[in-house]
Amino acid sequence: MNGIKIKGTGKGLPRRIMTNEDMAKIVETSDEWITTRTGIQHRHHVSQGESITALTVAAARQAMENAGVTAEQIGACVVATLTPDTLVPSAACWVQRELGLPHDIPCFDLNAACTGFLYALHTMECLLNASPRKFGLVIGAEQLSRITNWEDRGTCILFGDGAAGVVVECREDWPSIGAVLGSHGTDQMLRVPGVETDAPSLIYMEGTKVFKFAIEAVPWCIDQVLQRHGKTIEDVDFFVFHQANARIIDLVVRKYQIPLEKYYKNIQEYGNTSAASIPLVLSDLWDQGKIGAGSRLLIVGFGGGLTWGGAYVEFE
């Protein structure tokens, strides 16, 4: 299978910033309690008059501008999300309309929770292999503040809103990203009930169990991706982790002795943004000039489902 590389990044963030002090006015908590346990200091939340659709479109538009790609060149659009403004039309269909993407391409949403962006990257690689157009939009977008249980101090402090994405290109002479993906169906650790059910559609999570799952899943993904590609830690320019908890990242970094200059944390600014988390890291790194042409990344995510995944991705 022909491979894909990242050509440009973009993001869209809500204007409203919720600090830990703001959270302490809602539930019994403190800045010190949140920071020491999660690493989070701020998170963006959509406010009245804002929509995740607008943020998703903004992220897609910026990614296309940075990539130098026009709407007519896009061969598919996949939005990873569990919180679109509307179930139908999908968030991807709204992007198609707002950006004037071609009418004869697949545009759809994908829900794999916090692993969604990786699932969408792999899906896009498959789609572009069957498309005459060789550029694709992959976006992660969430408005988790709208499904947060504001009476649960263990979870309401964690989640933020936002959108970010990439334009990828597919070529015959490029290797596949070789995504490693997995799932195990369970609702015991993390779940959001659907619409028209007896339970409210709010996030339920057992943080300790999810933490234990993550510190096993992330190393497994790293090992599998390196083995599949015949690479070592030294071959990777940057490690991009789902930003769920700073302590999870710190444990993995120590395990693999990853140098400080090879990984990045922005959880302090955005909190856990689920499917938007990984592309927000990519967009920040791009904006800061830390990654660009030829950069080699190992990307790892995990989340509800349960789902997990990793991939070795390069910049064009």
**What are the residue numbers of the active site?**
114, 242, 272
* Alpha-carbon gap, residue 218 to 270, rounded angstroms: 21
Whether 133 and 189 have beta carbons less than 8 Å apart is answered as no
Identify each DSSP E strand in the chain by its residue range: 3-12, 16-19, 42-45, 74-80, 107-110, 135-143, 161-171, 180-183, 190-191, 204-205, 238-241, 296-303, 307-314
Backbone angles phi, psi at 7, to 5 degrees: -110, -25
Output phi, psi for 129, to 5 deg: -65, -20
**What is the total residue count of the chain?**
316
Cα 127 from Cα 105, distance rounded (Å): 10
Q: How far is CA 35 from CA 21, 52, 166, 247, 278, in A?
A: 11, 27, 30, 10, 20
Return the closest-CA partner of residue 270 out of 260, 285, 283, 280. Answer: 280
Paired with 303 in beta bridges are 307
d(CA 25, CA 97): 40
Judge residue 247's burial from the number of C-beta atoms within 10 Å of its C-beta, 0-12 exposed, 13-18 middle, 19 or more buried: middle
CA-wise closest residue to 295 among 211, 238, 227: 238
Hey, CA dihedral for 24, 28, 30, 35, is it positive or negative?
A: negative
Task: Give the closest residue to 54 by CA, choosing from 17, 96, 12.
Answer: 12
Q: What is the side-by-side strand order in the sheet with 161-171? A: 3-12, 161-171, 135-143, 74-80, 107-110
